[in-house]
Structure 1
Amino acid sequence: MNKQLQAMISLLEDPEKTVYEAVQQELMDVDPLLIPELETAWENADTLLQQDRLEKVISHLRFRKVANRIKNWNESELPSFLDGWIILSQIQYPDLEPKDVEIQIQQIVTDAWLEMNESLTSLEKTTILNHILFELYHFDLNVANFGAPQNCFINDILSSRKGNPSTLTLFYCLVARKLNLPIYHLNLKRVLFLGYYDPEMSKEAFGTTSSPILFYINPANKGAIIGHKEMDYYLSRQQIEMGSDIIMDDRFCLKGLIESMQDAYRAAGDEEKVKQLDVLKEIITT
């Protein structure tokens, strides 16, 4: 550790409030690459007071690191939703390794892919995906702790195989897209359904003025498949109109995930995380 950094850390115990607050603020402006050195200093701190003040600095720098990554993600031409979800999960798990998440998801994708072939219909492929996710891997709603923040983090969902309606829908869509199935999150207020996008087949089956969605999927109900008439009836009961711009892009989906995280943190009484997520939501343009 360089001497200047070491000197600043020692001043965190200064009895003068103006001194330690100035030092704390200066430490919050250092390069996030110094986080490992600050973590070592936290482990070797002489007092709980120094640890507490260092912890605030480290937390702030970790958030800056996440915010920078979200900014880079948002500025990329074709941002990967999985990459965005991993970055958001690092707000709670700063040491989360993307490769670990990718390996677990790839295993699920491979298991589904081995069951599929090109001769299968869209409905048959979706039924196989439902079997893999809900019968083989047993993904389900976390009914025991419905509002827990853990329902929102990709690594927790993979380890517990539990989520809330929003995150299960996003996860289903993520796996489907990796299988090259045209399944998308739909821009329908308060409705967490996915759509199998196939305009040509939909026109052939339901007429030229029909929706480009061949059928709808409800991942929160083990991937229940919903037809046009049933969906039209449901939307009319909910007083929701289906617009022409029905498919949500990945940036819009990530904002929805942030809002789900905020709801969970708010319920847990962690307003600091709610404020941090507000900052991340502002970074993402749709």
Structure 2
Amino acid sequence: MEETKEISALFHLLDDPDTEVYNVVSTRIIDFGKGIIPNLENLWENTISEEVQERIEQLIHRLHLRDLSEEVGVWNKNAHQDLLNGALLVSRFQYPELATAPVYQEVEKLRRNIWLELNNYLTPLEQVNVLTSILYNYYSLRGAEVGYQHPEEFLINKQLETKRGNAIANGILYLILSELLDVPIRAINIPRQFVLAYFKSDYDFGRPTSDLMYKAEFFIDPMSGQVFTHKDVEAYFKRISVPPVPSYFKPLSNKRIIQLLLEEFSKCFDTDKTRYKQQELMGLAEMITEEPETPPTPPDATPE
């Protein structure tokens, strides 16, 4: 962006100690949009004041965040919320200049390798064994418990780069590949876990039922691809002393999965210096809104 007299004057005021003056200046700079970022980067390189450099970094971050917020809003309003696109939006919070093409290429390579091994005669368990074998054996993906001291383990670009992700990130990659390959695997809402379930092929996800657990053929731990039975899951609920109510087995929407990713990722920034990032991530999570469910009409009800 051409540096006008107004921009030059605003830049000269960036070191103003008066908070009120700085707030007015920073708001006006933000109003210029992302086009002003190269000017700010040039100013940062030619500034010896660490305080001014820190203010410039904050301004660049705010500009990227405003752009990201707009994209999250668009993703939320789309007719279909693409899970890979949603995961990349979360990655761009930390890596605003992220090149997404390599991520798409890596996911496509994985999809193709799995597709070559799948056929219509495989049982549900055999389908999952193919997915798991390619991901965790051939591709050497490793899983880790969710740890908030490792923010990179939440982000799909770093996960594919290092072949290591936590249960949420690995689960999202598993779901992305399942959706691309038409394998009916969904995430479910089991307490304190991110667990996947293989649902019966004729299951109507829109139909209410009190027996959701048994609509699933089996369950999958995305950290390792290990398969769990209904008895394993029942034993887990007994161990944590929580009744296995139907809502825990209802498939999560892509919106809720990305919202959960943002909420959990935000917990990585729980220090005085980084808490602003936590608040920003929670703000992005709050932008994602689920459509209210329409209650089923009783058979004998007469529409008004």
Q: Deviations over 1:183-204 (max 9, x none)?
A: 1001222232111111549xxx
Question: Offset at 1:260?
Answer: 1.6
1:171 to 154, 170, 173: 173
After TM superposition, list the pairs within 5 Å mapping 1:46-125 onto structure 2. Answer: 47-125=49-127
Is structure 2 residue 251 aligned with structure 1 residue 250? no
Q: Deviations over 1:40-63 (max 9, x none)?
A: 333344644432222221111111
Describe the shift of the 1:48–1:267 C-alpha distance in structure 2 as closer, same or farther (beyond 3 A): closer
After TM superposition, list the pairs within 5 Å mapping 1:139-178 onto structure 2. Answer: 139-142=141-144, 147-178=149-180
How far apart are the structure 1 equivalents of 2:130 and 2:148? 27
Q: Deviations over 1:162-215 (max 9, x none)?
A: 1122222222222222221111001222232111111549xxxxxxx6722111
Count of residues paired in the alignment: 279
> Unpaired runs of 5+ in structure 2?
204-210, 291-304
1:271 to 262, 275, 282: 275
How far apart are the structure 2 equivalents of 1:143 and 1:243? 25
Asked if structure 2 preserves the Cα contact closer than 8 Å seen for 1:189 and 1:240, the reply is no
Describe the shift of the 1:267–1:12 C-alpha distance in structure 2 as closer, same or farther (beyond 3 A): closer
How far apart are the structure 2 equivalents of 1:15 and 1:226? 60
> Unpaired runs of 5+ in structure 1?
202-208
Question: For residue 227 of structure 2, what is the aligned residue in structure 1?
Answer: 225
The SS at the match of 1:90 is: helix
Describe the shift of the 1:268–1:145 C-alpha distance in structure 2 as closer, same or farther (beyond 3 A): farther
Question: For residue 191 of structure 2, what is the aligned residue in structure 1?
Answer: 189
Describe the shift of the 1:199–1:45 C-alpha distance in structure 2 as closer, same or farther (beyond 3 A): same
How far apart are the structure 1 equivalents of 2:227 and 2:145? 22
The SS at the match of 2:289 is: coil
Question: For residue 299 of structure 2, what is the aligned residue in structure 1?
Answer: none
Asked if structure 2 preserves the Cα contact closer than 8 Å seen for 1:67 and 1:280, the reply is yes
Describe the shift of the 1:165–1:15 C-alpha distance in structure 2 as closer, same or farther (beyond 3 A): closer
Question: For residue 204 of structure 1, what is the aligned residue in structure 2?
Answer: none
Is structure 2 residue 6 aligned with structure 1 residue 2? no
How far apart are the structure 2 equivalents of 1:191 and 1:17? 44
> Identity over aligned residues, as a percent?
27
How far apart are the structure 1 equivalents of 2:273 and 2:174? 29
The SS at the match of 1:184 is: strand
Which one-letter code corresponds to 1:2 in the other structure?
Answer: E
Tell me which protein shows more helix as a share of its residues. Answer: 1
How far apart are the structure 2 equivalents of 1:257 and 1:240? 25
Describe the shift of the 1:242–1:143 C-alpha distance in structure 2 as closer, same or farther (beyond 3 A): closer
Question: Offset at 1:285?
Answer: 0.7
Question: For residue 283 of structure 1, what is the aligned residue in structure 2?
Answer: 287
Length-normalised TM-score, structure 2: 0.83
